[in-house]
Structure 1
Amino acid sequence: DVVQLEVLLLGPPKVSEKVNPRQSVRLGRTAKLPCPVEGDPLPIMIWSKDGRNINGGWTRFKVLQHSLRIKEVETDDAGTYICRAINGFGSANINYTLIVIVRPRFTEPAKMRRRVIERPVGSSVRLKCTASGNPNPDIVWLKDSKPLVDEEGGERKKKRWTLSLKNLTPEHSGKYTCHVSNKAGEINATYKVEVIQRTISKPILTGTHPVNTTVDYGGTTSFQCKVRSDVKPVIQWLKRVEPGDENKFNSTIEVGEYRFVVLPTGEVWSRPDGSYLNKLLISRAKEEDAGMYICLGANTKGYSFRSAYLTVLPDRKSQPSSIPPVPYQSLPWPVIIGIPAGVAFILGTALLWFYQSKRTCTSSSSALPAAQRLPAASRDRACPALPAQSTTADKDSLSYEEYLAHQQLLLAQGGAGLAPKVYPKIYTDIHTHTHSHVNGKVHQHQHIHYQC
């Protein structure tokens, strides 16, 4: 009987208690999703988020025996979670939708820095409180801590994050507060609006602009004009037409003694200090762009203007060179031909002389017997050596007296083998004369003929 009872308890997993399929958690907190499933045998729990199985690599996620824990919840953790319990008899699923609650915050704080706003009667103002959060926050506008009620006449217009006040009157002065909230928290921002009762006066050009400007030819520059006015003014740029150039323009206007042409005007920007700004851009400046420019600011009460001059530097590419070119003067053709010919003649003569000297010395020296040749130093002194045939025997050079003694020795030994020409650069020949005198004496002497 006991065995039969155990068989009856075996089966697929089952959800043991009811759960809320929508779970909420605040940003940065810890979320815990339960999975109350029972079964025999004990089922295995598998968790997934948006179709992806959760594993050990998900550092902030931890799968427990009957739940899933998420630490320090982030906005990306929101999504669909499924707990799937499996055993040998089947499976069971529990689905969750996790909502991460984020308290409201202002998304454009730079546009909310100016909290005290002054406007004249009849003008308009816009108050912004752009915010975000999860779930989407609600916004409520208050004036002097009381809910703002829409009035007839369209003086107030509310969008989701902006409050527009038009045709201002002194009654619009006060403190305006935007109250932004959701289930995670709330934030507030307060503006102080002062509607000034004063008559509208003509515009005033503030600051120093426009100022005189210089630009390179083909360059880009700009004039700017800053106008203070109780209402939005009309800002217009004019350029003075030089005398004689009136026919170049379709239409001109006369102001005093001069005529001006109206230039295209860009957008007029409203500045936080209540003034208005406009810029005139001049690109690819040319000579005809130079001249007087006027910024004119006007409203229903009058106008104000201020002038400035633009100077365009000359085009450097079109200017002739300040240094006149030196005209090329050609040399006479006899000089052009004579100079190279003279150099070639001098070099050829020098080479021919060196070659002839070497050839004569070598042939005459080698024709003598070894015993009758002068030492090497004497030959080198007799024949000028070429640079490539230098000698180291300069210290052994032979004097003229030593040379004569050497020749006398040769004569004493017979003199028969003397050659008629030994060193043609020093002497031509050597011969001996014998004379008999009347007194019976015999005189013998030697003749040496030199060649200079």
Structure 2
Amino acid sequence: EKKRTLKYCYVCFLGPPVVATDFLERYVAQEGDTVKLLCPITGTPKPLIEWYQDDRMIPPTWMRFRINRRYIKIKDVVLADTGLYVCKGINGFGSESVRLSLIVRDLKEVFKSTNEDPSGPYRGLSPYLAGELPNSFAASNRFPLQGSFDEGGTRNGNLGPLVFDSSKYEEPRMVQQTAVRGDGIHKKSGDTLKLECLVDGSPAPSITWYKNGDIVMNPNLQSARSRTTLLMPDLDPFDDSGEYICKARNVWGEINATFPVIVHGE
């Protein structure tokens, strides 16, 4: 008689990926550090994890980036690595995405000596207590400092107390944009459409264009550090009518400008 083996499933909650209730959303690092961003997505069956940086999928060929099911590790981070990262979990039951932000800063830009102002309000404070620190600065301990500090917050050596310069950070704001009058921007078939966004913020925001919720992949998209222009010649009523959005993001927030476009036939 053949023996039968019974397999018991103690926890069989099959379903779409789920996001942990408590996870770190903001990471801070210094140039040259190695940073590990943790993806808080789990599920049964185990989801496939994809990573994106500012809406671009991160391929395994990127030399400094190592992708794991639970995290992405970035070696020797540079200022250009600052931005929004998305981990997306996919299984047979659905998908889920989580946005994480990374700030890469040079200590010389983020901290300054109060020797210039000995009477300053932050004199003698620990650098983690000075200024309006984001929650993740103190909570995550992800801003490595070279050297050590005494109990009064003074750095060992002759640099004097250091403080966080919160004035160097600013969420995106819209400085200028193409005007929209009435119910939208009206164009005729064959016309050229020009949409512009000028944004400000620190770190400099990344700018992405969307049409009806999809990213615009346009060869005539011209972008500078804080200005972007969407140029569309020879408009077609069917293909080019829709809602266009200019979205500017940095680690402190995001801002949108919406442009309803109506292209009329001959």
**As a proportion of its length, which structure holds more helix?**
1
Same fold (TM over 0.5): no
TM range (shorter): 0.3 to 0.5
| Higher CA-based Rg | 1
Question: 1 or 2 for the larger relative contact order (CA 8 Å, sep ≥6)?
Answer: 2
